[in-house]
Structure formats: C-alpha cells, structure tokens
Amino acid sequence: MPKYLPQSLVSCVLFASFAQVSLAEVSKPAVQAHSTVSSQHALGLAKSGHCKEAVPLLKKSFSQTIDKDLKRNAGLAGLRCAMVGNQFDAAEDFLRLLRRDFPHDPDVLYVSVHTYSDLATRASQQLATSAPNSAQAHELNAESLEMQGKWDQAEKEYQGIVQQNPRLPGIHFRLGRLLLSQPNPSADAAERAKKEFESELQIDPSNAGAEYVLGELARQAQEWDNAIQHFSRATKIEAGFGDAFLGWGLALVAIKKFPEAVTPLEAAVKLEPMNPAAHYNLAIAYSRTGRKQDADKEFAIHRDMVQRNSAEGGGPRNSPEAPQ
C-alpha cells in the first residue's frame, strides 16, 4: 500500500476488504441452502408426476448444486421426466451431463442402456410411419430379421433394396455378411458372399470391411497374394483396423515373408494389445528375422495371456500354430 495514504484511509480500505470477505462467507452457505431447497422442490415435482414443470428446474438444479447426491438425483429424475414427456432433446442433454459427471455410476449406466434403446425404438417407429417404403425402412427391417435369425426373410429384404436401389452403398456388404453369418450356410455361400463384397467395392471403394472379409476369404482359401492385397487395402482405408493388420501379417507369415510381416504385425499389436494371436505371430516374425530378444518378449506376453485366459475359463483368441 502506498506510504502517502493517510492512516484513516488505510483503515477504511482494510475495513472494506474484511467486510467483502465476511459478506462472501455469509452468502455462500445461503446460496447453497437455496440451491438445495430448489433442487428438493424440483425433485418433489418430478416425483408427483409434474414433469413438465420439473424438467427446467431440474436442469437448473443440476448445473447449480454442488451436492453430488443431489446433482445425481436431479439428473436421473430429469432424464426420466424428459423421456415420459417426449422431450428427447432434454433427455439427451441430461444423459450427456450424467455420463460426464458420473461415468461409472451403475444407475447412470443402467438408465443409459434403456434410454438409448428407447430412443432407437422411437426413431425406428418414426421411420416406419413417415417413410415406410424407403430403402432405409426396409434395411432396418432386414437388420431386425437378421437379429432374429430369420435369414431367408432378411435376405429377401436386402435383395428387394438392391432391386429398388442397385447403387445404394452398404447393402451388398450386408448381404455378403448375412450369407457368411448363417449357422448352416449353403455350399456356395462363400462364393456368393465374395461376389457381394466385390459388388460393394465397385459402388463404394472406401468400404474397409468389404476389403477385410475378401482378405479373410482369400486367406482361408490359401490365396496368399490376393489376401495380402485385400488386407493392405483395408488398412490404407482405415488406419485403425487392427484385424486387417493382423490378417495381413498372418498371410505374410504363412508364405514365410517374415521381414515384411513385422510392420503390419507391430501395428496389430499396437492396435490390439490384448490379442494373443498378434503377439504370437509377431514373435514368430521377430524370431525368423534374428530379433531374439524381441521375440522372447512377445512369446512371454502370449504365454501369459493364454495362461490367464485358461485360468478364467476362456480359450486363447486366434493363436495359430507356429509355421514350420
């Protein structure tokens, strides 16, 4: 404080500062108490079924209260009220805030499952009502039939979409996937699926999934060069496609191109660190290229994973035998 201020003025300044601090300390509990009362009032409205009035108050309570239990209860009540009142934008807001502030809370996770399910059901009903003959409505119906295991009916739905919209992206891929997913596929299912995936790529060359499945079909048929081409294309389309990197590496290991296999297998391990097959085959590639220390490390990781999976009652994931 400047030395030239009169002593009386110094006292006034200090007194004013202390007064502001005291006022803040007094006001803080009062504000908190008011927020608590407001939150309890909003919760009471929600509990008694007055959801229309409760939703805006619960939003305000959630943002203002510092009591965690009260905030959580306000968010859950607001979410329920918003869904009951068909206020879907408000419901999504409540859900987003709850998942942000209480990401591991069991109640929040539970209501999240049901809310997303309800929102999806309502959206599908709106689609069926507003555009029942659209390709999207038929596709949704085909997906539902597929989930129920009604393969023939689902295939007819997909075929109908292709006839109506032969250049619609994604449908040939779904048809191919359906043919391979059936529990008792026909003898020509793989060949028919292959044609569907090839048709998909003619329509949408950026479909990494179609490239990957074509790679898998080629690998199973031991068409190694074809498999390598499809897997590598899939990784170029989608840089985070761990299974495609693994398939690429597996194909290279199978034809003993171990130095070339190292790079895709290292990418597979990085993207899927809990996949034993990635570690195992990377260990093989390291071993056959003279990197013994790195190979031993990967073999140890693979061995630990297999033992852990066995102890937990599960089998190892995609751990093929070492090539001879």
**Whole-structure pTM value:** 0.71
Q: How many CA atoms lie within 13 A of 95 on its CB side?
A: 21
Question: In this predicted model, what pLDDT tens digit does every residue of 158-188 receive, in sequence order?
Answer: 999 999 888 999 999 999 999 999 888 888 9
**So where are the chain's domains?**
14-127, 133-205, 232-324
pLDDT at residue 21 tops 70: no
Query: Of the candidates 186, 183, 185, 175, which has an alpha carbon nearest to the alpha carbon of residue 209?
Result: 175
Once rounded to an integer, what is the mean pLDDT over residues 63-76?
Answer: 88
* Bigger pLDDT: 198 vs 121: 198
Fold of 133-205: 1.25.40
Measuring CA to CA, how many Å separate 234 from each of 240, 255, 275?
A: 10, 20, 19
What CATH superfamily classification does 232-324 receive?
Tetratricopeptide repeat domain (1.25.40.10)
Compute the chain's Rg from CA coordinates: 31
Query: Helix, strand, coil: what percent of the chain each, to 5?
Result: 75, 0, 25
What's the pLDDT at 201? 97
DSSP 316: P
Query: Of the candidates 97, 110, 48, which has an alpha carbon nearest to the alpha carbon of residue 71?
Result: 97
CA distance 227 to 234: 11
DSSP string, 155-207: HHHHHHHHHH-TT-TTHHHHHHHHHHHSSS--TTHHHHHHHHHHHHHHH-TT-
Matching fold, domains 14-127 and 133-205: yes
CA distance 81 to 223: 58
DSSP string, 70-139: HHHHHHHHHHHHHHHTT-HHHHHHHHHHHHHH-TT-HHHHHHHHHHHHHHHHHHHHHHHHH-TTSHHHHH
Instruction: Give yes or no for a contact between 258 and 285, defined as CB atoms under 8 angstroms apart.
Output: yes
CA distance 283 to 298: 5
Instruction: Give yes or no for a contact between 93 and 59, defined as CB atoms under 8 angstroms apart.
Output: yes
CA distance 159 to 166: 9
pLDDT at residue 26 tops 50: no
* Bigger pLDDT: 102 vs 324: 102
**Secondary structure of residue 283 in the 3-state scheme:** helix
What's the pLDDT at 29? 53
Question: In this predicted model, what pLDDT tens digit does every residue of 238-268 receive, in sequence order?
Answer: 999 999 999 999 999 999 999 999 999 999 9
Give the CATH architecture of domain 14-127: Alpha Horseshoe (1.25)
Instruction: Give yes or no for a contact between 175 and 139, defined as CB atoms under 8 angstroms apart.
Output: no
Once rounded to an integer, what is the mean pLDDT over residues 116-126?
Answer: 89
Instruction: Find the angle CA(166)-CA(171)-CA(177) to the nearest 5 degrees.
Output: 140
